[in-house]
């Protein structure tokens, strides 16, 4: 750690706003996973006491934060191309006598560090995902214009101990993210996350429960617990023992008003019996699980260092379906990992046919600097990867369409998330994360209502309210 510890105190966090009008404006550009979305929210919260309120566009912003993702190819190029655009805006504003602080955050910032300010000297701050609790101090240093501020150490303190609660001005959202675990010790052959997010660390259960209660008090009815390996969660519990994710889920399910709990992303190896039992016991735990398997070939799973077989995964899905028969699954797949043959790819296709996914994401393998697979022999040619990806995506699309079609005619509980695009229309979310549109009053926002699914759109369902009175999902699910 190169810097003295920074704490948000009454002195340095004193609001500099009057009558809630922001003195300064912040524009946030967020790429990557849900954790980056959560982090962007936290960065806004940390800066709110300094008088920063939201800016619609970078041209209106006194500070722009680009929160980046490093997971696949050309991540760094994409950052520099966006920075080029922001540079023009910064220069235009400078000509009008306005200062603009430009910060690069997230996983590219962590991976590239000072290289970013070497190539783009107009960037004021580069900060990794573990240091954003120190943003106020970084901003102060950037204002003093003593050269770029670069903070990519993994500090000894946990940033969560220094973050303020979600700012009262933040938009009231019916669905919310909550990071409970961060970092990864799994070191899959292809993946940068252990290097950009650091070692696995879990937040204490009491801190998670307090944040969940705060979110519920602010209107959240569905909380998605986040972690790079969320089911490896092992936070200190109130009883002095380490709690696993199952124990935490039981505690969260007791919070009045918290109707729905989800968690992502899980690793098959950390899916223990307690967590499977929690799916049987807790109606609030939604019957939809993103459980990435990456490949259906044991040879490739071994090369990927996933440390389980395709049959282990099949058995796991079976156990979960036994515990909760209405459970649906999604996954991530990589095609063209080094060494993947046509037969390995066929094993992946077979696994997909065997499981039947409600949805899935698939990617072409992309070599990431510094990861073991990037230096492996047996690189798969690009046209071959393209062909496999197209074939896999067609199968996944067919399964997704089939899954959606099977919900037509069913009565399902939908969490109303707000007004729809057309007058009189409202939007909601099914237990399976499907977007649902229906006619109804906006006053139902935040309630779980029973609907009948009437039809399919490309990526959503249309439905009618069964009656306008809210239902208890716990009773109806």
- Closest of 120, 100, 103 to residue 43, by C-alpha: 103
SS3 label, residue 63: strand
> How near is the Cβ of 294 to ligand SF4 at its closest, in Å?
7
In angstroms, the CA 76 to CA 109 distance is 9
The conformational region for residue 240 under phi > 0 = left, psi -120 to 50 = alpha, else beta, is: left
**Structural tokens at position 226:** 């986040």
Q: Is 159 in the site for ligand F3S (CB under 6 A)?
A: no
Distances (CA, A) of 307 to 21, 293, 298, 324, 366: 53, 11, 9, 26, 21
Nearer to ligand F3S (CB atom), residue 110 or residue 404: 110
Consecutive H or E run containing 15: none
**How many residues sit in the footprint of ligand SF4 (CB under 6 A)?**
10
Distances (CA, A) of 15 to 170, 180, 416: 15, 28, 35
Q: Is 303 in the site for ligand F3S (CB under 6 A)?
A: no
Of the candidate residues 35, 89, 120, 188, the single one contacting ligand SF4 (CB under 6 A): 188
In angstroms, the CA 269 to CA 212 distance is 26
> How near is the Cβ of 194 to ligand SF4 at its closest, in Å?
5
- Closest of 453, 340, 338, 335 to residue 394, by C-alpha: 335
- How many CB atoms within 10 Å of residue 371? 18
Provide the angle, in degrees to the nearest 10, between the axes of the packed helices 273-281 and 310-323. 30
User: Considering CB distances under 5 to 8 angstroms, the limit depending on partner class, which of ligand SAH, ligand F3S, ligand SF4, none binds residue 35?
Assistant: ligand F3S
> How near is the Cβ of 296 to ligand SF4 at its closest, in Å?
16
Whether 107 has a binding-site annotation, put simply, is yes
Of the candidate residues 228, 404, 407, 434, the single one contacting ligand SAH (CB under 6 A): 228
- Closest of 26, 84, 94, 30 to residue 58, by C-alpha: 26
Nearer to ligand SAH (CB atom), residue 121 or residue 369: 369
Which region, judged by CB under 6 A, interacts with ligand SAH, from 37-45, 245-253, 359-367, 427-435? 359-367
> How near is the Cβ of 270 to ligand SF4 at its closest, in Å?
9
Which region, judged by CB under 6 A, interacts with ligand SF4, from 181-189, 244-252, 379-387, 403-411? 181-189
Task: Say which DSSP state 130 is in.
Answer: T
Of the candidate residues 43, 61, 71, 293, the single one contacting ligand F3S (CB under 6 A): 71
In angstroms, the CA 11 to CA 172 distance is 28
**Structural tokens at position 407:** 């919900």
> How near is the Cβ of 87 to ligand SAH at its closest, in Å?
29
Of the candidate residues 3, 7, 53, 72, the single one contacting ligand SAH (CB under 6 A): 72
Which region, judged by CB under 6 A, interacts with ligand F3S, from 191-199, 210-218, 356-364, 396-404? 191-199
Whether 188 has a binding-site annotation, put simply, is yes
Query: Position of tokens 């190169």?
Result: 2
Q: Which of residues 30-69 bind ligand F3S (CB under 6 A)?
A: 32-33, 35-36, 69
Of the candidate residues 22, 268, 287, 292, the single one contacting ligand SAH (CB under 6 A): 292
Whether 179 has a binding-site annotation, put simply, is no
**Structural tokens at position 218:** 């602010």
In angstroms, the CA 468 to CA 426 distance is 12
In angstroms, the CA 150 to CA 252 distance is 37
CA-based end-to-end distance of the chain: 50
Nearest residue to ligand F3S by CB is: 32
SS3 label, residue 411: strand
Q: Is 366 in the site for ligand SAH (CB under 6 A)?
A: yes
Whether 471 has a binding-site annotation, put simply, is no
> How near is the Cβ of 339 to ligand SAH at its closest, in Å?
14
> How near is the Cβ of 51 to ligand SF4 at its closest, in Å?
36
Whether 18 has a binding-site annotation, put simply, is no
**How many residues sit in the footprint of ligand SAH (CB under 6 A)?**
16
Which region, judged by CB under 6 A, interacts with ligand SAH, from 80-88, 95-103, 153-161, 358-366? 358-366
Which region, judged by CB under 6 A, interacts with ligand SF4, from 10-18, 179-187, 280-288, 419-427? 179-187
Q: CB of 85 within 8 A of CB of 62? A: no
Nearer to ligand SAH (CB atom), residue 202 or residue 294: 294
Count of CA atoms in the C-beta half-sphere (13 A) of 472? 5
Nearer to ligand F3S (CB atom), residue 104 or residue 193: 193
**Structural tokens at position 396:** 């996944």
**Structural tokens at position 123:** 């960037």
Q: Which of residues 202-261 bind ligand SF4 (CB under 6 A)?
A: 228-229
Q: CB of 246 within 8 A of CB of 228? A: no
β-pairing, 52-54 with 435-439? unpaired
Residues that bind ligand SF4 (CB under 6 A): 184, 186-188, 191, 193-194, 228-229, 267
Annotated binding site: 33, 69, 107, 184, 188, 191
- Residue set of the binding site for [4Fe-4S] cluster: 33, 69, 107, 184, 188, 191
Which chain residues interact with ligand SAH by CB under 6 A?
Answer: 71-72, 190-191, 193, 228, 265, 267, 292, 294, 332, 334, 363, 365-366, 368
The residues of the shown chain that bind ligand F3S, judged by CB under 6 A, are 32-33, 35-36, 69-71, 106-107, 192-193, 196-197
């Amino acid at each position: 750690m190169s810097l003295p510890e920074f704490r948000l105190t009454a002195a340095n966090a004193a609001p500099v706003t009057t009558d809630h009008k922001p003195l300064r404006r912040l524009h946030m550009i967020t790429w990557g996973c849900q954790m980056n979305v959560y982090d962007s929210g936290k960065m806004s919260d940390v800066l709110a006491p300094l008088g920063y309120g939201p800016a619609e566009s970078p041209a209106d912003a006194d500070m722009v934060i680009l929160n980046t993702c490093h997971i696949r190819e050309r991540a760094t190029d994409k950052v520099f191309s966006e920075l080029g655009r922001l540079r023009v805006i910064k220069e235009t504003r400078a000509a009008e006598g306005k200062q603009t602080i430009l910060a690069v955050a997230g996983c590219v910032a962590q991976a590239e560090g000072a290289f970013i300010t070497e190539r783009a000297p107009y960037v004021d701050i580069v900060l990794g995902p573990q240091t954003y609790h120190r943003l106020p101090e970084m901003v102060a240093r950037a204002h003093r214009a003593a050269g770029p501020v670069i903070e990519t150490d993994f500090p000894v303190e946990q940033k969560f101990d220094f973050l303020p609660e979600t700012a009262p001005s933040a938009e009231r959202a019916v669905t919310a993210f909550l990071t409970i675990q961060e970092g990864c010790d799994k070191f899959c052959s292809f993946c940068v996350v252990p290097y950009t997010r650091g070692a696995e660390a879990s937040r204490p259960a009491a801190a998670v429960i307090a944040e969940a209660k705060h979110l519920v008090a602010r209107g959240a009815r569905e909380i998605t617990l986040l972690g790079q390996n969320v089911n490896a969660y092992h936070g200190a519990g109130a009883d002095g023992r380490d709690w696993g994710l199952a124990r935490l889920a039981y505690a969260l399910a007791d919070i009045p008003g918290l109707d729905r709990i989800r968690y992502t992303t899980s690793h098959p190896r950390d899916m223990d019996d307690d967590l499977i039992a929690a799916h049987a016991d807790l109606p609030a735990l939604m019957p939809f699980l993103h459980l990435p398997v990456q490949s259906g070939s044991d040879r490739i799973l071994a090369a990927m260092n996933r440390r389980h077989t395709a049959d282990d995964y099949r058995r796991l899905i079976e156990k979960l379906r036994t515990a909760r028969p209405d459970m649906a699954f999604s996954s991530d797949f990589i095609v063209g990992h080094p060494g993947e043959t046509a037969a390995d790819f066929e094993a992946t296709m077979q696994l997909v046919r065997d499981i039947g996914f409600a949805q899935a994401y698939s990617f072409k393998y992309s070599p990431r600097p510094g990861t073991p697979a990037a230096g492996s022999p047996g690189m798969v040619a690009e046209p071959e990867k393209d062909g496999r990806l197209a074939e896999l995506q067609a199968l996944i699309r067919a399964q997704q369409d089939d899954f959606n079609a099977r919900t037509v005619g069913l009565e399902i509980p939908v969490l109303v998330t707000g007004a729809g695009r057309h007058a009189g229309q409202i939007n909601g979310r099914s237990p399976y994360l499907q977007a649902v549109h229906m006619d109804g009053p906006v006053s139902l926002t935040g309630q779980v209502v029973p609907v009948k699914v009437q039809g399919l759109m490309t990526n959503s369902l249309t439905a009618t309210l069964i009656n306008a009175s809210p239902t208890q999902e716990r009773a109806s699910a």
